[in-house]
Copies of this chain bind each other. A is one copy, B any other.
Amino acid sequence: MSDQKNGSDTRERILDVAERLFMENGYEATSMRTITSAAEANLAAVNYHFGSKEALLREVFRRRLAWLNHERLQALDKLEEQAAGAPLKPSQILEAFFGTLLRMGENPALGGMVFLRLLGRTLTEPAEFIRTFFAGEYAEVIDRYKLALFSALPDVPKAEIVWRLHFMLGAMSYAIAGTDVLQVVTGCEVGDLAGEKATDETDDTVLARRLAQRLMPFLLGGLRAPLPQFDDLQRIQKEPLPKTARDTRGNGPNQDPRPKTQDQQ
């Protein structure tokens, strides 16, 4: 009990801190020294407990995704059991898939919005080991839900469903990851929740709930949108578009005097 306490404590502290810092700065921009000092642990602790920085990131995700994927599969199992062979409603499938995730954002014990944001941002990271890791973690869940959508929408071509699943994942990931990115651009619309000034934690919880309420109808609307007309082989070329102009700033305006002596201050 107490022999584990010391070790497990440091281990969990590192995981929690790494989760937050990876979310805030990204994987590459977060150094092990930043992590260990923020976790009040020794620099060597990460390599001792996890083996490497890459393995640390994997473990940060594994402890959350294990719960998430299990919950998602269980939700789908339950739905299919209740339906007794009949195809499910798309809204049920989306609720099981996205609702489960968004409910993580409302529960700080499961990572809360910190993990949701980290997940959304990391899904687009180009690093090879991250992609292969996610591919392995997500394979089963995606496959199950893909098949469920196939039988829920028998009239929609399967390729179209895959595309739309892709779009839905994107809308969700981006909405989560960018709650402070695009909100800045669009004019700070998060804080309009009737003057609630609470902890960051409860603030995040409220945000997660609002996000879920507004995201689900959007996704359903997109999923059930009319199919595009397929004028595939006709290759419309709306305008020839001058192939010469390499970019906009050939010699036109909009050109600030950059390379005179470069802008070192």
Within 45-64 of A, Cβ neighbours of B (below 8 Å) are at 47-51, 55, 59, 63-64
Q: Is the CB of A226 within 8 A of B221?
A: yes
A29 to B131, CA, bound (A): 15
- Quick one: which of B51, B173, B225, B244 contacts A170, CB cutoff 8 A? B173
User: What's the Cα separation between A37 and B187 when bound, in Å?
Assistant: 42
A172 touches B170 (CB 8 A): yes
| Contact partners of A210 in chain B: CB under 8 A | 232
In chain A, residues 145-178, which have Cβ atoms closer than 8 Å to a Cβ of chain B?
Answer: 146, 159-160, 162-175, 177-178
* Chain A contact residues, CB within 8 Å of chain B: 7, 11-12, 23-26, 28-29, 47-51, 55, 59, 63-64, 66-67, 70, 103, 107, 109-111, 120-121, 123-127, 131, 134-135, 138-139, 142, 146, 159-160, 162-175, 177-178, 181-187, 189, 192, 209-210, 213-228, 230, 232, 235, 238, 241-249, 254, 258-259, 262-264
Rounded to whole angstroms, the CA-CA distance of A135 and B214 in the bound complex is 24
Asked, given contacts A146-B186, A170-B178, whether A214 binds B123 with beta carbons under 8 Å apart, the answer is no
CA distance A187 to B50 in the complex (A): 31
C-alpha gap A224/B142 in the complex (Å):
27
